[in-house]
Each structure stands twice: as C-alpha cells, then as structure tokens.
Amino acid sequence: MLTSLSASSWLLGFAGFLLALGLDLRRRRVGSSDLLRLGILSFLDLLAPAATFGCALALCAQMWPAAMREGVLHVRTVAFPGALACLIAGPLLWTEGRKQMQFQRPTGLIFGEWLFFAGAVLTSITTALDFDRAARLWSLAPVVAGLALIAVIVPPFVKKFEGLTILEAIGEKEQFSQPEYTPPTQECPQPQLWKMLDAQSTEVEVLDFLKALVVAMKPRLIVETGTFLGHGTLKLAEGLRHNGFGRVITIELDPAIRARALERFKASGLSGWIESRLESSLDAKIDGTIDLLFSDSHLPNREAEVRRLLPHIDPRGLVLIHDASSHFHIVREAVLRLEAEGLISSVLMSTPRGLAIAQRREGRR
Ligand SMILES: C[S@@+](CC[C@H](N)C(=O)[O-])C[C@H]1O[C@@H](n2cnc3c(N)ncnc32)[C@H](O)[C@@H]1O
C-alpha cells in the first residue's frame, strides 16, 4: 500500500507525523535532551499516534487528485478504508496519551493498542479486498503482538496501588500541572478549569488554599493523614513558615512513598516545620490539641480517622476532609453521616474532588 504512494503524499504524511510527534512531546513536556533517555516502549507510545496521523494525511493526499478529477471517491481501494481507520484511530490514540499522563497508565499500552488496531484494520482490508491467504495471515500478526503486549503490561499495573505507579512514572523528573482528571459532577461541572499534578496529589488550587488557611488561622498543630509526595504537607508548612510558628505532623503508611516525600521536604528547606511519621492514621497517637486536621489518606479510612482524631481537635479549629465530592461517594457519605450524628458541622466546597470544611460541634460556642 505504502509503496504506491506518490512523493507528495509521502511528504505530506511525513510532515503530519512530525507535527503530531512535536505536539505530543510538547504536551508531555519531553525536551530533546530527554528523548535519548526514553525507554523503547515510551518511544513507541509516542510514535504510534504520530504515525497514525501521518498515514491519515498521506492516504487522504493520495486519494485527493482522483477524487477532485472524477468527483467520486474510490471506496474499494486500500487507501479509503485505511484513511478512514487512521482518522478514527488518531484522535482515540491522542486521548489515550492524555489518559496515560493523567492516570500514569503503563508504558507501552498505547503501542499495544495501536498494534491491535492496525492489525484489525489490515485484516479487514485484506479480507474485504480478497487478498491471498498469506497476506491475510500476516495481517493478523500485529493483532497477536498487540494483545500479547497488553497482556504482559496491564495486569501488574491493575494490581499495583496507584500511588506507587505514580512514584515510578515521575521517576527523577519534576512534576508539571495538567488539567484535573476527575469527571464532572453536579456540584463541579467543569473540573478541567482546575489543575493537578497527578491523580493522588491534592489539586493545585486546593494546595494554595491550604496555605492560605494556615496563614489565616495561625494553627499551632496541624495533622495531615496521607502524605503521598508531600505537596499538601509543603503548602501547610509554607503557611507555618509565614506565620513563624507551629508544626505539621504528616502520616504516611507506605515506606517507599514516605521516603520520596522526605527527599522533597529536605530539598524544600521546610523540614524543620514537618514531623513525618511512617504509620497508619488509624494507629497514630497525637499529643496535644489539633488546630487543623487535613484528612487525605485512603478513601475508606477517612471516616474512621476523623472519628478517632475528633476528640483531639480544638472546637475552634478546622477539619478538612478531602475528596468529599459526589464522585467519591464513600467520603461524602461519611461527612454527611458525621454531620447527621451531630459530631461536625460542615461546608462542602465544590472543587473537582471536593473538600469538606468542618468543625467539631462539641465544645463550639
Ligand atoms: C491522596 S494521597 C495523599 C495526598 C497528599 N495529602 C497531598 O496533599 O498531595 C493518599 C496517601 O495516603 C496514604 N495512606 C493510605 N492509607 C493510609 C493510612 N491508613 N494511614 C496513612 N496514610 C495512608 C497512601 O499511601 C497515599 O500516599
């Protein structure tokens, strides 16, 4: 099919390939110096959508002169279904790339999907156009290869905790902000207006809000459950540094994740404001009165940890419960239950993942 392309179709296809590749590198913040450090599967993940866009352009360019001259499209050719398939697959693969960035989906997945799709299209074309048996069998090879690749990379990814996948994906690179990943909800219909660093770290705007709250409230003791990469801790600590007093105790269950957060704390120069603990929020013992609790650990644990820490919280202080949007039923329902029991009074802030700002009822005047 490709050998019968005219020189101008080849040229246009190559230009389309380069353009799509350039745009993909840009949105992934991959510079020319990073290119050499990319693994083979990462490289193939970049080539797959670019090649599809290139093929779409080349095949359209190939059909264009005859279509213009004769005023008809020759449907029973290789070029027509090929171009159609590429025009459908190109945007799909592009979206898959976005999801790969947002959800840290496994490297090689886009290439695997591309192989499968390309093979399926080739098989359909060779069958529909009565190619010989050998050609039909060969066109099945990419389907098998794509399925095999997906079968190898997807199961370990599904089994792994998302936080560790993010940890691996970001490697030594600094993170960058991208549009928020959670789907729209009734209370937050345009989540894409917010920014996120990854699917576990608090939304960028909410991080800024945490700092502003610390500056406004002047808490002496802050407790954060679920450190993850430490983005929330650092914003809370920035607020403390601004105030000139206080400390934040941050609690993380996973040793590898905590080690990464500790590196970040050290590099930030804010370690002096932070007490990092490796334990479960459900076992943590806190001495002193908590002025600000930021509950942000495992979703199903939030209710138990808030109930556990509530007696230690100053009634003039605040309880922030992250992920209280209707997308995360489990947390929202827990907040509503705690409120219905008269334990807290809460405001449900309509951010993409939701933030309940609550206060302990007992002792409040
Ligand atoms: C949503 S992330 C925290 C995000 C972080 N607070 C921020 O602002 O970027 C949740 C973290 O809680 C940790 N975690 C899960 N269960 C926990 C528990 N029982 N105690 C403490 N941390 C826990 C997970 O390992 C993960 O790193």
**Span 191-210, pLDDT tens digits:** 999 999 999 999 999 999 99
Q: How confident is the model at residue 219 (pLDDT cuts 50, 70, 90)?
A: very high
146, 138, 37, 136: which is closest to 93 by C-alpha? 146
- CATH class held by domain 195-360: alpha beta
Which pLDDT does position 104 carry in this prediction? Answer: 77
| 202 CA → ligand 1 middle, Å | 11
Which atom number of ligand 1 is nearest to the Cα of residue 323? 1
**For the segment 305-322, what is each residue's pLDDT rounded down to a tens digit?**
999 999 999 999 999 999
Name the β-bridge partners of 318. 292
Domain(s) of CATH 3.40.50.150: residues in the chain: 195-360
Interacting residues of 337 by C-beta distance below 8 A, sequence separation 6+: 303
Which pLDDT does position 285 carry in this prediction? Answer: 94
pTM of the model: 0.75
Share of the chain above pLDDT 70, in %: 98
Helices (H), 71-196: 79-103, 109-128, 133-159, 162-170
Whether ligand 1 lies within 6 angstroms of the CB of 202 is answered as yes
Q: Cα(356)–Cα(362) distance, rounded to whole angstroms? A: 18
Q: To test the ligand 1 pocket, which listed residue (223, 225, 283, 331) has its Cβ within 8 A of the most ligand atoms?
A: 225
The 3-state secondary structure of 165-205, one letter per residue: HHHHHHCCCCCCCEECCCCCCCCCCCHHHCEECCCCCCCHH
Whether ligand 1 lies within 6 angstroms of the CB of 232 is answered as yes
Residue 102 has pLDDT above 80, yes or no: no
Task: Give the mean pLDDT of the chain.
Answer: 93
Reading the block at residue 124, the tokens are: 């359909």
Average pLDDT over every residue of 95-110:
88
Name the residue with tokens 């095949």. Answer: 59
Residue 161 has pLDDT above 90, yes or no: no
| Helix/strand/coil for 338 | helix
